[in-house]
A = this chain, B = another copy of it.
Amino acid sequence: MNVTPFKQRFILHFGEMGSRWGINRTVGQIYALLYVSSQPLNADDIVDALGLSRSNVSMGLKELQSWRLVNSQHLPNDRREYFSAPEDIWEIFRVLVEERRKREIDPTLSMLRDALMEQPTSDEDRHAAARLAEMHELIEMTTRWVDDIQRLAPKTVIKLFKLGGGVSKLLPSRNAANN
C-alpha cells in the first residue's frame, strides 16, 4: 500500500497538528489516512502506508474508536477488520464536538456546579464564587446552545451559518442599539 504524495501531505499535516488537538502524531496520521481513503483499510494496510508498528496501529485505532471517529466492519471472505472514517462530514463534526465537550468541558462544568453549592464565608470567597458563577453560566449557555443546534438538519445549520451576524436582525424584541 503506497500513499500518493497528495495524500501524504495531508497525512503528515494531521500528524503534526495532532499534539495541538490532544492526540498524538500517529493517531493523527491514522485518522487522516482513513479520512482520505476511498476504501476501508485493515490494520496491516495502515502499517504499510504509514510505517508504524502493528501494535501502535492497534492502539491508535482503539483511541480513534473511543472518539467515535472511525467505524469498523468486516468484508466478505476476509477475517481481518476494516476501518473507515464516516462518510458524512456533518456526522464527523457532530461527534467531534460531542467528544471534545465530554472531555474538555463537562468535567469543569460539574466541578463548577459542585463548588457553587457551597456558601462562601469570606469576602474573598464571595468574589471567587461570583467569578465561578459567571464562568458556569457562560459555559452552560454555550453548550446548551451547541446541543440545540446540533439537533437541526445540516441544511438548516448551513442557512443559519451563512446568515452570519445577520441573525441579529431576525431576533425578536431586538433593540436598535445592539448591532
When the two chains form the complex, which single residue of B6, B115, B142 contacts A6, counting CB atoms closer than 8 Å? B115
- Contact A153 B179, beta carbon cutoff 8 Å: yes
Say if the beta carbon of A111 comes within 8 Å of chain B.
yes
Contacting B at CB under 8 A, from A105-134, are 107-108, 111, 115, 118, 120, 122-125, 127-129, 131-132, 134
**Chain B residues, CB < 8 A from A164:** 144-145, 148-149
- Contact B127 A142, beta carbon cutoff 8 Å: no
- Contact B89 A36, beta carbon cutoff 8 Å: no
Interface size on A, residues (CB 8 A): 65
**Chain B residues, CB < 8 A from A160:** 145, 167-168, 171
Say if the beta carbon of A22 comes within 8 Å of chain B.
yes
- Contact A125 B4, beta carbon cutoff 8 Å: yes
Query: Which of the candidate stretches A13-21, A47-55, A56-64 sits at the interface with the other chain?
Result: A13-21
Given contacts A22-B20, A89-B134, A152-B178, contact A6 B128 (CB under 8 A): yes
- Contact A17 B104, beta carbon cutoff 8 Å: yes
List the 5 closest pairs (A to B, CB-CB), nearest first. A148-B164, A36-B128, A148-B165, A145-B161, A153-B178
> Apart from A13-B107, A152-B179, what 5 extra A-B contacts exist at CB < 8 Å?
A141-B158, A145-B160, A148-B165, A159-B171, A160-B168
Q: List 20 A-B contacts (CB under 8 A).
A: A4-B124, A4-B128, A6-B120, A7-B124, A9-B111, A9-B115, A13-B108, A36-B132, A38-B128, A89-B134, A90-B138, A148-B164, A149-B164, A149-B165, A151-B165, A153-B177, A155-B178, A156-B171, A160-B168, A167-B167
